[in-house]
Amino acid sequence: MRKNKRDRQKQLEETIKDSPFVTDEELAEIFQVSIQTIRLDRLELSIPELRERIKYVAQKQLDEVKALPMDEVIGEIVDLQLDDSAISILDIQEEHVFSRTGIARGHHLFAQANSLAVAVIDDELALTARSQLNFTRQVRVGERVIAKAKVILVKSDRTVVEVNSFVGQERVFRGRFTMYRSHLEGGNESDETSY
């Protein structure tokens, strides 16, 4: 059963507030209306299109990144909690894929995950010391890859970051990055726990 316009717009606002990176196509499916109806609703509610919402959030997050310049981040960081977690979004476009197959080149998925692992480090210096990678599904042109980084171990000069990348709810990449960093205050350098 379709909702009346007022109720739909109220729920639309709430949905976008809860999930700011939801697409117009996904919203049209949720509310069982056309994409054009969603766009008109957004215009009436003064809600910017997805690209603008991402840029706004990404710019706020990039101001916190310490370990690399903003223009070296692959994808757009939309959430960042230094030394804890981070999320970035990469829309796969023609320049990211093999021309014959439309399948994304693996180094783009790696670059998104690796730059996110660097960005999450609360230090001026963060370098990849080691990585373990698993590509679990091919990614195609037009798909949106959401990479989620989680810091799982912090040592005096190393941090281990796990990055899982998804298209929708399906994991397409998993990486574990051991990151070299400047020594932390009070770190125990003699602790030899395996990374």
> Pick the residue with more confidence: 87 or 55?
87
Query: Do 101 and 23 fall into the same domain?
Result: no
The residue assigned the tokens 């916190």 is 64
Mean pLDDT, the chain, rounded, equals 85
Tell me: pLDDT of 183 over 70.
no
The values of phi and psi at residue 116, to 5°, are -70, -40
Query: Residue 181 and residue 126: Cα distance in Å, rounded?
Result: 5
96-123 mean pLDDT: 95
Query: Can you point out the beta strands (E) in the chain?
Result: 76-81, 85-91, 126-135, 144-154, 158-167, 170-181
17-27 mean pLDDT: 83
pLDDT computed for residue 142 by the predictor: 94
Q: Which residue type does 173 have?
A: F
Range of the domain at 77: 67-181
Q: Is residue 58 part of a domain?
A: no
Q: Is residue 105 part of a domain?
A: yes
Query: Do 79 and 164 fall into the same domain?
Result: yes
Cross-strand bridge partners of residue 91: 144
Q: Is residue 57 part of a domain?
A: no
Which among 136, 128, 135, 115 is positioned nearest to 62, based on CA atoms? 115
Query: Do 87 and 42 fall into the same domain?
Result: no
Query: Do 41 and 73 fall into the same domain?
Result: no
pLDDT computed for residue 19 by the predictor: 79
24-33, 84-93, 176-185: range with lowest mean pLDDT: 176-185
| Structural domains counted in the chain | 2
46-55 mean pLDDT: 79
Burial of 5 (0-12, 13-18, 19+ CB in 10 A): middle
